Chain A
Amino acid sequence: MLKKVLIANRGEIAIRVIRACRDLGIATVAVFSEADRKSLHVRYADEAYLIGPAPARDSYLRIDRIINAAKKSGADAVHPGYGFLSERAEFAEACVEAGLVFIGPPAAAIRNMGDKVMAKQLARAAGVPLVPGTDAEAKTAAEAKSISDEIGYPVLIKAAAGGGGKGMRVVRSSDEIESAFGAATREAANSFGYGGVYIEKLLENVKHVEIQIIADSFGNAIHLGERECSMQRRHQKMLEEAPSMALDDDLRRRMGEVAVAAAKKANYVNAGTIEFLVTNDKKFYFMEMNTRLQVEHPVTELITGVDIVTEQLKIASGLPLSYKQEDIVLKGWAIECRITAEDPFNNFLPSIGIIERNVSPNGPGIRLDSAVFDGYEVSLYYDPMISKLITYGNDRLQAIERMQRALREYRLYGIKTTIPFHQQLLASEAFQSGEFYTTSLETNATLKPNQQYRPIEPVLAAIAGALIEETVQNEERQGKGVAHSIVNGNVEKSGWKEVARREVLRRG
């Protein structure tokens, strides 16, 4: 078994991996940027090493500094988490060259499957159905335009490296190609260090369903069922569940078999995910393979009872899989909400600032994978996802009800979050009935963030406002002096002069 693992990541996933290591008695090493000195992953780990300034390219993307930290700490393995370096073959190679176990697939498998163009060729060879498109990357905007004109609009421009919606654009007509191509290549270059993109036809009214697979180094591979990830905004998943209402036992078995076959074809080892598009008439198409742990892995853990990160650590330790395919039985239902620091009622603009108070939900069926705490600063340097709220129920209805309870209990004061929008989604007819697709958040008017969707009557808000004002004024009168500390000035407000005049009146 591994003795000491360095986690080359931050946030909730770093903590998730630390927890799995601790369960197995493995020592943990955190790495952190200057912005993350106070982060939970630094405090939870047994050791922590500074690897550079706040921007990811100077810290969490610096292979040399991470390898140095691993050597210095005497770690014998590296877990990459998701994002950052997790799907960079050269990182896996650098680990191996430094005598470290990379907790993930071999570099060759990352290269084959991580590069989506090569992955498509491989999937085709394994007999997996593919979405119409080209295998080659589009090198210029002009080339992108001629490819798109040929397959027909709408098309999808996708980064060859990475995922998570970065470097991805939907294009509906040829005059949008140039600006979309530019934005996609720049985003891809900034996020993954590689700007290559390719183009495929956009299928509409489809569901995004993915199959989790795990494989050991003895050639055994199994799947852990599917996850439903269709609730996406700008190709960023907002809510996932397992199992998926779109699958029946037969489709699940067929997709699982194909996923396992593709993994074996790629000589895949460790945890991975094959993403498919599923149509209403139960056809499925290979989209891509993610050669790492997924953000949404907890929903699979809850319905299978398999601790995926623990399995990753065992596989990397050279042990065979703890399960055979027939051991995997799906039981109950799980839902995950990705809570991000974004304002759903203001076009999802990032909400930056201090989380003054973090009130976590609790009770039966609740799991919270979070990295935030009272006083945590949400900065603009990293992904806006701050936590994952996962609920489990005996059936879908119970999982939904528990999620609604948990969202009601969950409070992150001081910043704007997507919690109110998640409440709207959970209560929506579309989600409850299962009638939703990958584009629903953009096209279904009832799923647009709606401030009118709120159980709070305006008069109640008015009462709260009057009561706060009266409390503050009473305290000012009694000279308690608390009142002034709650005046949080904000910059460049148009009504400033007027406000100042009112302040004078108030004092008088």
Chain B
Amino acid sequence: MIYYCKAGDQEFKLELITDSTGNTTVKLPDGREWAVDFTRVIGNKHYSMLVDNKSHVVYMNTREGADYQVSIDGQPYSISVETERQHRFAGLTQASAIDSGEIKIKAPMPGLVTIIGVKPGDQVEQGQRIIVLEAMKMENELKAPRQGVIKEIMVSAGQTVEQNKVLLILE
């Protein structure tokens, strides 16, 4: 099978070939290849990976569609994996994405909204403090990622929010 894998800011086209004896080889278009041995350790997330007999431990934290959050030897990594078919399809859809110019400011963690420093219609500068979120007893200031106008505020001070909750919209 052929897979397209993005890791960090690099993309690789990988071919996995398993021969009749069960030995697997990974090949890159540039001619590099490795003998791999991949096995589950415990449960369905924990793997041991031998690449040319070099030992690595792989743990898959989450998978969202093609996006994998994994830990390799304890280092976190985001990887996106597509089959050849998915890769072709993704190429078609990406071109149609439209940038509306709006930015949704989301809660980067669950917490308590303690201060909202703006109101709808306010003009804000890049880096201006817009919301203070308290979690684990620390105040975390959320700042405007760019200048703009506050279009809508979805939360109020004193409200507890989940991670990724849209707090306000900047346009």
A-side interface residues toward B, CB under 8 Å? 166, 179, 183, 186-187, 190-191, 234, 345-347, 349-352, 356-357, 380-384, 407-408, 410-411, 413-414, 416, 419-420, 423, 451, 454-456, 458-471, 473, 482, 485-493, 495, 498-503, 505-506
Contacts and interface: CB of A to CB of B under 8 A. Distances in A.
Contact of B66 (A350, A460, A490, A499): A499
Given A384-B136, A462-B12, A408 B5 contact: no
13 contacts: A350-B138, A383-B137, A408-B74, A420-B75, A451-B8, A456-B75, A456-B77, A462-B6, A465-B5, A467-B36, A471-B40, A485-B44, A503-B65
B64 A493 contact: yes
Contacts of A416: 76
B103 to A, nearest CB: 11
B58 A488 contact: no
Contacts of B162: 491
Nearest to B58: A464
Interface centre among B1, B26, B72 (most CB of A within 10 A): B72
A491 to B, nearest CB: 5
A464 B64 contact: no
B149 interface: no
A469 B89 contact: no
Given A486-B45, A502-B86, 15 more contacts: A166-B137, A190-B134, A380-B109, A381-B136, A408-B73, A413-B45, A419-B74, A420-B74, A456-B73, A459-B10, A461-B7, A462-B5, A464-B70, A468-B70, A488-B64
A461 B90 contact: no
Interface in B1-44: 1, 3, 5-8, 10, 12, 14, 16, 24, 26, 28, 32, 34, 36, 38, 40, 42-44
A203 B36 CA distance: 55
B129 A454 contact: no
Nearest to B96: A498
B14 A462 contact: yes
B164 interface: yes
A487 B69 CA distance: 11
In the A-B complex, the 4 residue pairs with the closest CB atoms: A499-B65, A462-B5, A461-B7, A465-B79
Contacts of A347: 108
Contacts of B7: 458-459, 461-462, 465
A451 to B, nearest CB: 8
Contacts of B51: 460, 463
B63 A486 contact: yes
Contact of A414 (B61, B63, B70, B82): B61
B170 to A, nearest CB: 15
Contacts, number: 199
Contact of A490 (B28, B64, B139): B64
B130 interface: no
A486 B58 CA distance: 14
Contacts of B76: 345, 416, 420
Contacts of A492: 106, 164-166
A343 B57 CA distance: 20
A93 B43 CA distance: 51
A454 B162 CA distance: 31
Given A488-B64, A502-B65, A413 B137 contact: no
Contact of B10 (A382, A458, A463, A482): A458
Nearest to A500: B65
Contacts of B93: 498, 501
Contacts of B80: 465
A357 B28 contact: no
B8 to A, nearest CB: 5
Contacts of A383: 136-137
Contact of B3 (A183, A352, A410, A466): A466
A505 to B, nearest CB: 6
B70 to A, nearest CB: 6
A454 B49 contact: no
Contacts of B40: 471
Given A352-B163, A488-B64, A505 B86 contact: yes
B54 to A, nearest CB: 9
A502 to B, nearest CB: 5
Given A352-B110, A420-B76, A468-B70, A488 B136 contact: no
Contacts of A407: 74
B144 to A, nearest CB: 15
A502 B16 CA distance: 21
Nearest to B42: A357
Contacts of B8: 451, 458, 461
B1 A470 contact: yes
Contacts of B64: 487-490, 493, 499
Contacts of B68: 465, 468
A179 B86 CA distance: 50
Nearest to B94: A498
B151 interface: no
B13 to A, nearest CB: 9
A349 B75 contact: no
Contacts of A471: 38, 40, 47
Nearest to B57: A411
Contacts of A455: 73, 75
B92 to A, nearest CB: 10
